[in-house]
Structure 1
Amino acid sequence: MPFSVSAGTRIYWKLEGEESARGLVLLNSIGTDMDLWDAALPALRKSFRLLRIDTRGHGASDAPAGDYTLAELAGDVFGVMDHAGLAEAAIAGVSLGGMIAMEMAMTQPGRISRLALICTSATMDPGAWNDRITKVRSEGMTSIAEMAMGRFLTPDFIAANPAQAATLRRQLSTMSAVGYAGCAAAIRDMTLAQRLAEIICPALVVTGAKDVSTPFEGHGEHLLLAISGARHVVMPGAHLAPIDVPEELAAVLLSFISAGAAQG
Structure 2
Amino acid sequence: MAEADGLYWEDHGPREAPVLLLSSGLGGSANYWAPNLTALAQDHRVLLYDHRGTGRSSRELPGDVTIEAMARDVPILLDAAGVERATIIGHAIGGMIGLAAALATPGRVERLVVINGWAKLDPHTARCFDTRLALLRDSGVRAFLHAQPLFLYPSAWISGHHAQLMDEEEAQFAHFPGAETMQRRIAAARRFAPGDALKDIGVPTLFVVAEDDMLVPPHCSGPMRDAIPGAQIARMATGGHACNVTRADHFTMWLLDWLDGEEG
Q: TM-score, normalised by structure 1?
A: 0.89
- The residue number in structure 2 matching 1:220 is 221
Aligned position for 2:165 = 165
**Which secondary structure state, in structure 2, belongs to the residue aligned with residue 63 of structure 1?**
coil
Cα deviation for residue 228 of structure 1 reads 1.6
Q: Is the 1:204–1:233 contact (alpha carbons within 8 Å) kept by the matching residues of 2?
A: yes
Give a deviation string over 1:90-148, Cα, whole Å, max 9, x none. 01000110010100111111111110010111111596557755764675423422442
The 3-state SS of whatever aligns with 1:56 is: coil
Matched, 1:97 2:99: no
Aligned AA for 1:77?
V
Letter in structure 1 aligned against 2:2: P
Instruction: Letter of the 2:58 partner, please give it.
Output: D
Determine helix, strand or coil for the equivalent of 1:35. helix
Aligned letter for 2:141? M
Higher RCO, 1 vs 2 (CA within 8 Å, ≥6 residues apart): 1
CA distance in 1, matches of 2:146, 2:244: 20
Corresponding residue for 2:254? 252
DSSP-derived class of the 1:259 partner: helix
| Coordinate RMSD, CA, aligned | 2.2
Return 5+ residue gaps in structure 2 as ranges.
Answer: none
Q: Distance in 1 between matches of 2:200 and 2:255?
A: 22
Amino acid at match of 1:59: G
Matched, 1:111 2:112: no
For 2:13 and 2:150, locate their aligned partners in 1 and report how far apart those are by CA, in whole Å: 34
Provide Cα deviations, 1:177-205, integer angstroms capped at 9, x if missing partner: 23322221211221223421121101101
1:144 aligns with 2:144: yes
The counterpart of 1:19, out of the listed 12, 15, 19, is 15
Aligned length: 257
Are 2:70 and 1:73 aligned?
yes
Q: Deviations over 1:38-78 (max 9, x none)?
A: 11112111110000011122211122256511122111122
Structure 1 residue ranges, 4+ long, deviating more than 6 angstroms after superposition = none
Residues 253, 137 of structure 1: alpha-carbon distance in 2 compared, 3 angstrom cutoff: same
The corresponding residue for 2:156 is: 156
Distance change >3 Å, CA 149–CA 131, structure 1 → 2? closer
Counterpart amino acid of residue 113 in structure 1? E
Give identity over the alignment, percent: 27
Structure 2 residue identity aligned to 1:156: A
Structure 1 alignment gaps of length 5 or more: none
CA 173–86 in structure 1, closer or farther in 2 if over 3 Å, else same: same
Once residues 172 and 198 of structure 1 are traced to their aligned partners in structure 2, the CA distance between those partners, rounded to angstroms, is 37
3-state SS, counterpart of residue 20 of structure 1: coil
